[in-house]
Amino acid sequence: MRRVIFNQKGGVGKSTITCNLAAINAVEGKKTLVIDLDIQGNSTQYLLGKKITDSDRTIASFFKDCLSLSLFGSGNHAGLKSAIHETPFPNLYTIPSHPDLEPLQTRLESRMKILKLRDALDELQEFDDIYLDTPPVLNFYSQSALIASDKCLIPFDCDSFSREALYTLMQTIAEVKADHNQKLEVEGIIVNQFQKQANLPQQMVEALIAEGLPVFGAMISPSIKVRESHSAARPLIHFVPNHKLTNEFRALYEEIHNE
């Protein structure tokens, strides 16, 4: 299964959600890959403890290969496979981001390489599950991820601007589904930074549910432990396995997988 975590609004917790769900998936014994398509590289640093300076083994190197014309095949599958890094956590692997993604984007768009990631992942059969972290904008890389995925998870941070952006986002996903990826489905909306005691977040979530949007019942609370786990480069399941926040991610994971 391939899941893309996507929202065109920044600061909603995409990388945190991606890495923590992937880490739980790996703990469950499934061989798991995280692909970091965000130039900021937050997932890369969260899982590897550093940004990658050498672009030869990153998602950027894969896209560079896509621009290399070959009469005997593109070699993109080999390029993608060679970019995989083992993380310090059993069963968990990542393809890191790199700043070279930014200058590559215009060339990739002009050469119509939007399907290359999907095609390469179709050949990459060794993983049970793949999670794709995306930039907070609809660009070549986020579109590539949507086209390559089976399911889309949408982080939502109980902000009035997030609610406005949500409808645009749902329309965007519907258009990608219609034009490029008939199997793409919105698996659900993940409510992040949810404060149970505050009226506004509660009202916003109730409104989304009333409108028939697929909101997960398991919600993620704000906690300093998230930032601490970022600094330690250890997803919560490895950093504080019995913490309330870790249990919330476990509950979310179980809800996703019991659908």
Dist CA 56 CA 20 (whole Å): 26
| Dihedral sign (CA 228, 232, 233, 236) | negative
Average pLDDT for 215-241: 97
pLDDT for residue 10: 84
pLDDT at 71 over 50: no
Q: Which of 64-78, 87-101, 132-146 has the lowest mean pLDDT?
A: 64-78
More confident residue, 202 or 59: 59
Q: Which of 90-104, 152-166, 167-181, 198-212 has the lowest mean pLDDT?
A: 152-166
pLDDT for residue 167: 86
pLDDT for residue 259: 62
Superfamily designation of domain 2-257 = P-loop containing nucleotide triphosphate hydrolases (3.40.50.300)
| Dihedral sign (CA 234, 238, 84, 62) | negative
Percent of the chain with pLDDT over 90: 81
| Best CA proximity match to 104, nearest among 142, 157, 67 | 67
Average pLDDT for 212-216: 95
| Cβ-based neighbour number of residue 88 at 10 Å | 11
pLDDT at 70 over 80: no
pLDDT for residue 74: 46
Percent of the chain with pLDDT over 70: 96
pLDDT for residue 69: 59
Instruction: Note the pTM of the prediction, 2 decimals.
Output: 0.94
Average pLDDT, the chain: 93
pLDDT at 75 over 50: no
Phi, then psi, of 156 in degrees rounded to 5: -140, 125
- Using an 8 Å Cβ cutoff, are 194 and 223 in contact? no
Average pLDDT for 199-228: 93
pLDDT at 5 over 90: yes
More confident residue, 23 or 194: 23
Dist CA 81 CA 58 (whole Å): 10
pLDDT at 77 over 60: no
- The pLDDT tens digits of the residues spanning 135-186 come to 999 999 999 999 999 999 999 988 777 777 888 899 999 999 999 999 999 9
